[in-house]
Amino acid sequence: MSVDFVGTAVGSAFSELFLLVKNTVKTVVMFRNELKKIESTLDCIVPILKDINEFNSRLERKDMGQIEDLINDGKELVAKCSKIKLLHQHKKLKYSEKLTKFDAKLIREFQITLPLQTMRITVETSEVVKQMGGEVKETGKDVKEMGGFVKEIGVDVKEIGGDVKKLLNFVQPNSGDPQSELEPLSELAVPEAPDFIVGSEVEASLRKLKEQLLEEGVSVTVVTAPGGCGKTTLLKKLCNDEEIQGKFNNNIMFVPVSKKANLIDIVQKMFRHKGVKLCRIETEDDAVRYLQQLLIRIGKDPVLLVLDDVWIESQSIIEKFVFKKIKHYRIVVTSRYEFPIYRPVHHLNPLTHVEALELFHQSVIVDDTSLDAPDDEILDQIVKRCKGLPLALTVVAKSLRGKDPSFWETKLLDWSERRSLLHSDSDVLDCLRKSLDDLDGDPSIKERFMDLGSFPEDCKIPATALIDMWVELYKLNFSGVRAIADLNKLVYRNLADLVVTRDLSEDEDKCYSSHYAMQHDLLRELAILECSQGEVENRERLILDLTGNNFPDWWSKQKQPTLSARLVSISTDGTLSTSWPNLQLPKAEALVLNFGITIQTKTYALPEFIEKADNLKALIVTNYSFFPAELRNFHVIGSNLRRMRFERVTVPFLSMGKLRLHSLQKISFFMCSISQASTSDDAKISDGMPNLVELHIDYCNDLVTLPDGICEIKPLRKLGITNCHDLSSLPEQIGQLASLEVVRLNSCTKLSKLPDSIGTLKKLISLNISDCLSLSTLPNQIGQLVNLKRMNMRGCPRLSVLPLSIIKLRNLKKVICDEEIEVMWEPLKRSLNGLNIMASKEEASLDWLRY
């Protein structure tokens, strides 16, 4: 756009400022964003200033108020900025603020001056017309000539009015009240972009978001992560991108959404942002209708709406902003909640250690000077404690910026004395606590969140352990479906991650053995911090992390308090060498024991106080070390227990008949040694746990055959023996388990056949024999499973023929198999009406392993 007009001093100065800004934008990287905004403002002012110059010249007027001084100040400021070098980083903030203030002042001056100039020109033009009309009357001059001159002035005045209106629409919302004070440019303007972003995953998300916005497609995109992971930072960077600004021009609106978002208030701000006068909005329906009209009024120009930090309670706000029939209209939402109904979703994860070090370095540097920090080991430890959370890294870095190395060492010393980072940095704590504020409307999910603190950091938490705990604590349904739903609620809120190591289609039996939860370490610290409020006697949860024999003072005293905790979690580090002190737990319903074992100890004794915990319903015992551990003191397990889970321990399973666990309904073994030889004096397992409903044995490689006594447990409904590679056969008596509904035998690689008695399991609904590599035939009696609905036989390469009786499985609806076995099933599809055959290839996964 040409700015070659010099009719007045203002015109000449403006031309110089305009050209100076345009040239400086190209050469000075440091202030490019601020200068571009000034350039955009000047672009809009040029045509109006030209017309005013022209009419001032015609009317022989020179007065332009204070604009000339303002423009000259701007020239001087931009000239100074053009001389600042990249090395002078300490000047960046100072002059960035000055440029931003100049842009706002420029806009404000023209908001006031241009409308007044237009009115003045209009009045003076009218006076000229009147005078000319009088002269015509008196002198009889040619009216036609003067009429043409008047017409020319009228047209030009109309054009000025239109251009002024365009400027006002660009720079300032119309308040609708001529007496009201003029407001700032807009509350919805895009915030300044950060100087840098760190993280390959963040950069990848930025690229993907940019690609999606530049293409035609989905109207709503969600960026989700826990608090402090950089969602808003990412969007600021995106909205300041040249290509994004090029596409959406001046139609990007950045809306911070509060917890109690006000739809009417947001819409009013959007109207003011676009400079459109709007009468008072009474209802949300009116707000939605007016917003739709605004978007239609904008026309074909693309519009980008950023809804930043949307809480779950505000999901309806998103829904009301969606207008599918309006093209070129895109919405990007940032939230701690996933909003499953909207796709695509971009997840931001914590930074890797290398990326965290980079961000910490960038944040701790002062005035672009080199980092004067303690040795690399201390710096490395401090960064590790921030757990890859960008907010924690920047907060801690700024707290140490420019300080003596002794401050660094003191902070690390505080943390080593088990003072949480959340205790020392309130900004991080406040940010993370907002995630809990999000749970105010659903207190039960806050309870589940705090329960996750019962498990060690940096470990996958088996969903089956959570099910056992939550079913008993909160009286949920036995299958655990509600528990998994609650876990997913935490996942949607980014308070936990869910890892599923197998195809979900294979877990229709609701066993959830392939589901694991993970929690960011700082979120775990937050959970523990929340659990630790109040006196220890009155806490709902007791979470203890013991080092060696260092018991809390209140516990090591002669007279221990009686505790009210319903959930108790005790973790030890493998160096516990003394006996357990007594503990009074009359209300405890779930006990989680996490322990490590050294090569010297090799044993772990169940605490004696379990015997007196009469209300205990769930016991979860996990060895987190690499060494196998022998579990002792089984005699303390009470008869009221309903669920037990053991991991990486040696357990006398075959001798458990002596324990008389008459209330036990579910028992699970994962990577345990369980087949210790029993003696003739041992009571049958069916005597010890006569009411067992679920038995799960997974990765127990010493199991060769299933004890006959298990086949006498009449209530047993689910039997899972999986990944037990030495299991070669099942007892023929298995047909006595008349209540069995689910049998899972997957990955028992030495199992060569199924017993004929399996045909008597009339209630069997699901049979999984996947990856049973040695299985070559199926018994003909399999056709008697009249209620069988699902069958998984993928990965059975030796199975070459199906028994003829399989045609009798009239209720069979789903078969999962390999492509080779699919050929055998295809001819049966006509007879087995509604049968769905799923043939696929599965790659082996070791994602369940803990490192």
Q: What is the pLDDT of residues 74-122, one digit of tens each?
A: 888 888 888 887 666 667 778 888 888 888 787 767 655 555 445 445 5
Per-residue pLDDT tens over the stretch 796-838:
999 989 999 999 999 999 999 998 899 999 888 888 888 999 9
Q: Do domains 200-347 and 353-428 have the same CATH topology?
A: no
Three-state secondary structure string covering 387-443: CCCHHHHHHHHHHHCCCCHHHHHHHHHHHHCCCCHHHHCHHHHHHHHHHHHCCCCCH
DSSP 201-268: HHHHHHHHHHHHHHSS--SEEEEE-STTSSHHHHHHHHHT-HHHHHHHTT-EEEEE--TT--HHHHHH
Name the strand (E) or helix (H) holding 515: strand 515-518
CATH number assigned to the domain covering 200-347: 3.40.50.300
Tell me which residues of the chain have a pLDDT lower than 50: 1, 6, 116-117, 119-120, 123, 128-129, 132-185, 370, 679, 843-851
Give the model confidence (pLDDT) of 268-289 as tens digits. Answer: 888 888 877 766 788 889 889 8
Domain boundaries, the chain: 9-171, 200-347, 353-428, 439-523, 534-702, 712-851
Structure tokens at 678: 């029993």
Written as six digits, the tokens of 226 are 């826990």
Looking at 1.10.8, 1.10.3470, 1.10.238, 1.10.12, the CATH number of the domain 353-428 comes to 1.10.8
Rounded-to-integer distance, Cα 347 and Cα 352, Å: 15
CA-based nearest residue to 424, from 409, 434, 414: 414
Looking at residue 812, its pLDDT comes to 95
Q: How far apart are CA 391 and CA 65, in angstroms?
A: 48
Please tell me the distance from the alpha carbon of residue 697 to that of residue 744, in angstroms, as a whole number. 10
Please tell me the CATH code under which domain 439-523 is placed.
1.10.10
Q: Which residue has the tokens 């701790």?
A: 364
Nearest to 497 by CA among 481, 521, 483, 517: 517
CATH node for 534-702: 3.80.10
Kindly write down the DSSP assignment for every residue of 47-89, as one continuous string: HHHHHHHHHHHHTT----TTHHHHHHHHHHHHHHHHT--TT-G
CB 106 within 8 A of CB 35: no
Domain covering 712-851: architecture: Alpha-Beta Horseshoe (3.80)
Alpha carbon dihedral 435, 314, 210, 238, in 10-degree steps, equals -60
| Cα distance between residue 304 and residue 343, in whole Å | 17
Tell me whether the omega of the peptide bond preceding residue 344 falls within 30 degrees of 0, making it cis: yes
